[in-house]
Structure 1
Amino acid sequence: MKNLLFDFIVDKDSSTVFVNREFAADISLVWDAFTKQEILDQWWAPQPWVSKTIKMDFKEGGQRFYAMVGPEGQEHYSIELYTLIKPQMDIHWESYFADKDENINKDFPSSEWELKFSEQRGICKVNIVIKHKTLADLEMHIQMGFKEGFTATLNYLENLLLNLNN
Structure 2
Amino acid sequence: MKPDLHYSFQADMQTSRLTIRREFDAPRDLVWDCYTWAELLDQWFAPEPFTAKTKSMAFEEGGHWHFAMVDPEGNEHWSRFDYETITPKDGYQARDAFSDPDGGINRDLPASTWDVTFEDASQRTLVQTVLTYETPEALQQVIDMGMQQGMEATLSGLDKLLAKLTGATAK
* Unaligned 5+ runs, structure 2: none
Please state if 1:46 is matched with 2:47: yes
1:142 — aligned with what?
A: 143
Question: Aligned-residue CA RMSD in angstroms?
Answer: 0.8
Pairing of 1:20-35 with structure 2 (within 5 A): 20-35=21-36
Please state if 1:124 is matched with 2:125: yes
1:137 is paired with a residue whose SS is helix
What is the TM-score normalised by the length of structure 1? 0.98
1:104 is paired with a residue whose SS is coil
What is the TM-score normalised by the length of structure 2? 0.95
Identity %: 39
Distance across 2 between alignment mates of 1:60 and 1:30: 19
Q: What is the one-letter code of the residue matched to 1:73?
A: G
2:103 is paired with a residue whose SS is coil
1:151 — aligned with what?
A: 152
2:100 — aligned with what?
A: 99
Distance across 2 between alignment mates of 1:95 and 1:121: 30
2:11 — aligned with what?
A: 10
Deviation at 1:120, TM superposition (A): 3.0
User: How many aligned positions are there?
Assistant: 166
Distance across 1 between alignment mates of 2:15 and 2:135: 8
1:99-128 deviations in Å (ceiling 9; x for gaps): 112111000000000011011322100011
Deviation at 1:160, TM superposition (A): 1.1
Distance across 2 between alignment mates of 1:27 and 1:41: 19
